[in-house]
Structure formats: C-alpha cells, structure tokens
Amino acid sequence: MSTRTHRFEMFSDDYFRVISQTGVRQRIGLGGLDYHGCWDIALAPGGTLYYAASDASGTARHTRLIAYDYPTDAGRICLKAEDVVLPQSRQLPMTKLHESLCFLPDGRIFATTHSTDRAPQHPEWMPLAHHTHIWEGWPGSTMVCYDPATGKSENWGIPAPRESIYGATYDAKHNAIYMIGFMRGHVYRFSLDDREVTDLGKAAELFCYRLHPGPDQHIYGCTKSGYLWRVNVDTVKLEDLNWRVPEYPDNYCNNTWYRYMSQAHNLDDHRMLFSTFCSDDFFMLDTATLTVSSLGRKTTFDEFVDTMPTTMGVNEFAVDKDGVLWYVIAIYNFQKPNDDFQTYAMPDYLMRWNYQNGEQPECLGAVGSVTHMHGQTSGVRIDRERDLLHIVDSGGHDGGLSVLSIDLGTFRRHMHEPGPVSTDPFFRPKPMTDEQVTAFKKRGKATEETTATNPFYAFPIETITPVRIWRHVPHTDIGDSAIVGLVWDEHDLLHGVCGQRTMYAFKVTAEGVVQDFMPLDSTDASYREWLLASVLPQPPELDDIDLALPHVVGRQYLAEASAVCDWNSDRKMVGTRDGLLARIDGNSVYALGNAAPYGPVRALCTNHGQTQLWGTAGDEEDLGTVFTYDDRDGLRQLGFLVYNIHGYFDGPSASNVLSSIAVSPGERFIAVGGADRLGAIHIAQL
C-alpha cells in the first residue's frame, strides 16, 4: 500500500499560517452577539449577506437572523426567534435556522427553526428521546417569513408536528417550499398558494439537509448514506436516481458516516456541480441524462497533517464569475491517536480550483486572521456582481462568530503570498487535565451525535446488521420495499415479504446478505403459501369472548387488539391500537401498561418457550419503539431503530414504522422490519 501524503506537519508554522490578508475583512460578533455558531446563510440579490447566529453550548438561547452589508460595513439583527415563535421555557430552544433561508419572488425571506441545544433542565441535547414529550420536547419547526422591506416577520405555522426541519428550498416553478425533516427524513411540500402541507414520504434515513433546485427546476438531495434522489416538482413525487457516493480507500468518515450532499450549484441549463461532505471528489450531475461523473479530487494530498488521518469536510463551496471553485475544508480529528492527551481545535483551509483550465486544487492557507481563525466553516457565498467571497464560521470560538469577507478583485493578485502565522490560542495544543485524560481514555467508540449518556437505540449498534431492502426493489418503485412480514427458519435464514403495488419475497442471511429477491407471484406455490402463513405479524385473532382490554383514559374506542401472540400456560399477549399491552388468561385481562408512548402495537413475537416477548409500536409519524416483556422483569421499552454512529457499517440506517419483528428459533438473532418508504431490516444479535 502506498504511503498517504499530507499537506502540513502538525502544529508547524505553515499549519497555522493564514491566507494572505490583502483584501480580507473580518468581523467578529456582528450585532453585538457573542453567539459562536451558524448553519444558515443566504446572499440577497442586492448583495446583503443574511446569516442565522446560533449558540448550542447549553445556554438554551434562541437564534437571531443577522444582515451584513459589506459596502457600509454594518451588521444588524433582523429577527429574534422568540419574537416570532412563542417558545415555552421547558421545551428545546430554537437554536438555529438550519439550511433553510431562501428568497421568495417578492424579496421576502423564508426560513424554519431548528434545535441543537438542550432544554435548561436536561443534562444534554436529547431531541429523539423527547420526541414524544409534549412539554419538554420539540413542538415542531416553525416556518417564519421576514420582509426586509418592512422589517416585519410572520409565523406561518408548524408543517410537521414534533419534527425538526433540517433544510428547505423554494420551488419557483410551482410557488412552493420543500423541506426535509431531521429526525425522520421525510420531505414536506408547503404550497404558498393554498397553504397546504403534503408529506412525500421518507427520502433519507435521518439528519439530511441539503435540498437544491437543479437547472431542470426539480429538487435534488442525497441521503446521509450517499444515495442520490430528487423531488419531481411536476408530479410531487420522490424519485431515486440509482447512484451512490462511492467508498474511498482510508476515507473513514465517508465510508461509515457522512455521504450526504453538502452544497450544489447550477452551471448551465442541464449541469449541476455538487459536493458531498467528506468524499474525495466533487461531482457533476447532468440533469438531462441523470448521470453523475467525478469532477476530480478536491485536494492533491491524502491528509492535511502527518500525525493522524483527518476527515476533510466541505460544508459549502461557491463558484466565482470566472467559473473557479472556492471552498473551505474543515478538518475533523475523528481518528485522533489514543495517546494524544491534548486539547485543540483544528483550522479550516481555503481552497481554490480552476478546473476549467486544467489546474489542480490549491490550498491558499488557513481561514481567518492572526487572532481569530475558523474552526468549522459552515457558510460560503460569492457575490459575483461585486466579486466578494463571504465565509461564515461555526467553530465554537469565544467572542462571537466570524464573518470573513474577501475582495477577490484584490485578493487574487496576492493569494499566493504567504500570510502571517496565527497566534489564536483556540487552536494551540494544551495539555489535558487529569479529568479530561480520564474521559478521553474512556471514550471508546463514538457516541450518537444527539446524545452521549442517554442512549435511545433498541439494540447496541455493535450487534446490528442493517439490510437496505430499498436497494433491491426497482429504483423506480422504492416504496415497494416496505416490509410486510418476516419469519426465520430453523437454519437461521430470514424469509420476508415486502411491497405495496408489487409484492416481493426474499431471503436474508443472519449476516445481512440478501438472497433470492423476486416477485412474490414468481415463487413456488407451496413456498408462497408457507411464507404468507408464517411471516409475522399475522392478523390479530382473539377467542370470541367479551374482553375489556385496557385503555388510555377517555380513549376507550382504541381498546381493540392490533397484535396478538400466544404466551406460555395457554395464555395470550395482546397489544392495542393505543399502544397498551395486556396478558390474557381465560377471561382475565391483566394490563401491563404502555408498550410505547403511542400506538398501535404493530407486531409481537416470542421465543420458542413463549417466555420472552418482543414487540414494536408507534404512530405512523412517530420514531417507532421496540419493547420486550417477560413475567419476571415486566414490560420494558428498548428504544428506536435509529443508528448514526461512525465506524460500524457503511452509513446511517433507520426505520420508523416498525411493521414486523421475528426472533430466530435458537434466540440468536432478532429481525425488525420497517414499512417506511425506505424499507429496511435491522438484524440484532441477542
């Protein structure tokens, strides 16, 4: 294997050397704000830069929309989130506007609120764990509209209750807003003409934000696992494009965590250039043929530093008036050596690539100034008319976030001149305290992004094998991957049925290898009869006796069986439409409580001895809950099938409508099927 090349020696002068300062203007804490984060910027046609300042440090502060005017060098607060939306003190704060700022034809600005900070009484940020908590969770993102002409803001309501909108864009062809959810990955359409919201279904597993209107006016996106898709704005349907961001040798973060589209720009009437967060390449999509090609590698080296592998992330890029790419690479030390007992932030670096002239990407130096460098650039915009490059930081630096503006007309003549060496202490290594060393040694594998000490997943990720059934159906009919039922045979081979318009039969090994995927009608008649009679769940059946099943107070009408299975000693277990579980012994009903915050109970299964039960429950708009019961320990909620931790498999995986659950005869494996548009199975080792 060839030696990996690197750009800098760690902590050398060149590593800390910033770009040439000629033509560079940096402003810190505009509007008098010490907020140090930002994940939403937009450049108005007139040149005003808008960005949403945020603080996710545990202070529960709400976001502000800032306007910065370069000619007058003035910044002002345009919108305070709490003035437009009435936040409750116990709820998750409105930390951000997140990748949603877009301009409407009349000049108004649309955006959606998002939360990435804990509520004051919570020990950490816990959005998924509080998805079902009405008072302490997230009520749902609010659509807000700001009018620069009048300075007035409007509250347009919550398009998806309990969901946090992670990205949005404007559909100019049909006067609509398209949005995508953070927790469930559904795409929503809000019509500005009739004020109607439409849920198009699950487009991504989770945590996916970039929605880009392509040159053909359709809306493009990419799942965090790397699959390209679009919204056909004429049919208002999601369409899979049957292409995936590739794996790369030694690209740990791309291969196991982040492959979503981070930014895109239209080049002409059919070509769209896009970046994914940490792939090696930039990509070109031809929207006329729906084919993708690589533009080439974004760097001429493998790593930024010599001491460790580095994740090189591109959050955004811009194209100048000459077609040259300008982008910032943020460096992440996810693979920091186990014996590196120092704390430090890593600088961002400004890149320039004149690919049209056959030149290679060039690194121009660290972004920032002698006293304030960028640690995680989230926004990059070019004002082509004024030839200005705006770069906005979100690196957590003390004193407020940085807006770095570069007069490219001046800077280009000096861009290869070495800048000064930064002395910013935020990036200089400091010895860890004894407490920090102890925590560092205990860190082990990475934890879920949204919580560190209160895990919410049903089974530990190291026991999980995800199976993306949605990659086995025709890509033109992704919805036919929704799981109908599952059953294990005595050889630990999983059999299943999926589909809505067309039904399919398949087999999956315990290791997650899909076998014999075919239309159900094409299977042998005897096998098909066995399969349909054996997969779980089967329609719920109870003896024709008058049983008073448990109910939630005042919702007696939902005290009906939605799932039933046999239990030991000739008893039965019953789940209701309202999410309650009960044990039936003859005419006696023993209520066991809530299997999940919401119903229905969708599926139940037991081990061979009928002494251990597993089940699934949840509303169609819920996250979906797996639970278990036995006569000794009682009823226990296990958690969600939401997996987003690097280093385990080839990208995030999640199911929310948990339609089926089946345990293998030897109790070595349990499989849970999802009936979302992106139908998937999660196999766990027990």
| pLDDT score for 451 | 84
Same-domain check for residues 427 and 514:
no
Q: What is the pLDDT of residue 485?
A: 99
Q: What is the pLDDT of residue 539?
A: 96
Token pair 């046999």 is at which residue?
Answer: 566
Distance CA 20, CA 427 (A): 19
Cα gap 412→167, rounded to integer Å: 33
Please give the single-letter amino acid code of residue 482.
A
pLDDT digits (tens, 9 = 90+) for 224-270: 999 999 999 999 999 999 999 999 999 999 999 999 999 999 999 99
d(CA 644, CA 60) in angstroms, rounded, equals: 24
% helix, strand, coil for the chain, step of 5: 10, 40, 50
Range of the domain at 287: 6-437
pLDDT for 450 equals 82
- Are 315 and 392 members of one domain? yes
Residue 453 forms part of a structural domain = no
Domain count, the chain: 2
- Regarding whether 386 and 480 lie in a shared domain, the answer is no
Low-confidence ranges of the chain (pLDDT < 50): 1
At 358, give phi and psi (nearest 5°): 75, 15
| C-beta separation of 117 from 96 below 8 A | no
Residue 1: the pLDDT is 40
Clarify whether residues 75 and 203 are in a common domain.
yes
Q: How far apart are CA 204 and CA 202, in angstroms?
A: 6
Residue 443 lies in a domain: no
The pair of structure tokens assigned to 531 is: 């399969």
541-580 pLDDT, tens digit per residue, is 987 778 999 999 999 999 999 999 999 999 999 999 999 9
Claim to verify: residue 493 and residue 382 sit in the same structural domain: no
Q: Can you give the CATH number for the domain in which 355 is found?
A: 2.130.10.10
Cβ atoms of 199 and 188 within 8 Å: the answer is yes
Q: What is the pLDDT of residue 444?
A: 60
Same domain, 410 and 470: no
**Do residues 133 and 215 both lie within one domain?**
yes
Radius of gyration for the alpha carbons in the chain, expressed in angstroms and rounded: 26
Residue that is last in its domain, among 369, 403, 437: 437
Co-location of 288 and 217 in the same domain: yes
Using CA atoms, how far residue 24 sits from 76, 368, 411, in Å, is: 21, 9, 7
Coil/strand/helix, residue 601: strand
Domain boundary among 421, 437, 453: 437
Q: How far apart are the C-alpha atoms of 166 and 115, rounded to whole Å?
A: 9
Domain boundary among 405, 437, 469: 437
Residue 94 has a pLDDT of 97
Asked whether residue 493 falls in the same domain as residue 609, the answer is yes
DSSP characters over 472-507: TS-GGGGGGG-EEEEEE-TTSEEEEEEESSSEEEEE
Asked if the structure places residue 403 within a domain, the reply is: yes
Residue 425 within a domain: yes
CA-to-CA distance for 218 and 236, rounded, in angstroms? 10
Query: In this structure, is residue 424 part of a structural domain?
Result: yes
Asked, for residue 454, whether it belongs to a domain, the answer is no
Cα 280 to chain centroid distance, Å, stands at 20
Tell me, yes or no, if the pTM score tops 0.95.
yes
* Shared domain check, 515 and 371: no
- 110 and 163 share one domain: yes
Q: Is residue 456 part of a domain?
A: no
* 347 lies in the same domain as 394: yes
